[in-house]
């Protein structure tokens, strides 16, 4: 269901809801997998070198709520 793709856009969230507070700052991105666009969280990134639009990303895993987490290719 979740395919590898490229970052269409992204942001780094510094002010999260309570549930995501332990993760902050964290990155969300719109992934373009060639057919569709959807929102994912990006983990395992280098905090000193932000991701950029067009960068390749791969599906990593589903989190505890079964939401998609990706990482840089």
Partner 1 sequence: MRSVSVIGIGETRMGKYPGTLKDMIREAGEKAIRDAGIDKSLLEAIYFGNFNASYWSGQSHMGPLVAETLGLDNLPTIRVEGACATGSLAFRQGLTAVASGLYDVVLVGGAERMTHESTPRITEGLASAADVDLESSVGATFPSLFALAANRYFHEYGNCRDAMAMAAVQNHANAYLNPDAQMHKLITVDIVKNGVPVAYPLTVFDCSLVSDGSAFVVLAASEIADRISGGRIVDVIGSGHAGSSLQISTKNITSFIATTNAAREAYRMAGIKPSDIDLAEVHDCFTITQIINTEDLGFFEKGTGALAVAEGKTARDGLVAINPSGGLKAKGHPIGATGLSQIFEVVTQLRGDAGERQVKNARIGMNHNLGGSAATCVINIFKRRD
- CA torsion, points 44, 47, 52, 57, in degrees to nearest 10? 0
Residues 6-45: x where in contact with partner 1 by CB under 8 A, - otherwise, as a string: --xxxxxxxxxxx-xx-x-xx-xxx-----xxxxxx----
> Should residue 59 be labelled a site residue for partner 1 when binding is judged by CB under 8 A?
no
> Should residue 73 be labelled a site residue for partner 1 when binding is judged by CB under 8 A?
no
> Should residue 46 be labelled a site residue for partner 1 when binding is judged by CB under 8 A?
no
Residues in the chain: 73
How does DSSP classify residue 65?
A: T
> Should residue 72 be labelled a site residue for partner 1 when binding is judged by CB under 8 A?
no
Give the count of residues interacting with partner 1 (CB under 8 A): 30
Enumerate residues 6+ apart whose C-beta is below 8 A from 36: none
């Amino acid at each position: 269901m979740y395919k590898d793709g490229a970052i269409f856009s992204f942001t780094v969230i510094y002010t999260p809801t309570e549930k995501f507070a332990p993760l902050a700052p964290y990155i969300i991105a719109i992934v373009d997998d060639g057919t569709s666009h959807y929102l994912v969280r990006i983990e395992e990134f280098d905090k000193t070198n932000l991701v950029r639009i067009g960068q390749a990303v791969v599906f990593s895993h589903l989190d505890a709520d079964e939401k998609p987490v990706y990482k840089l290719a």
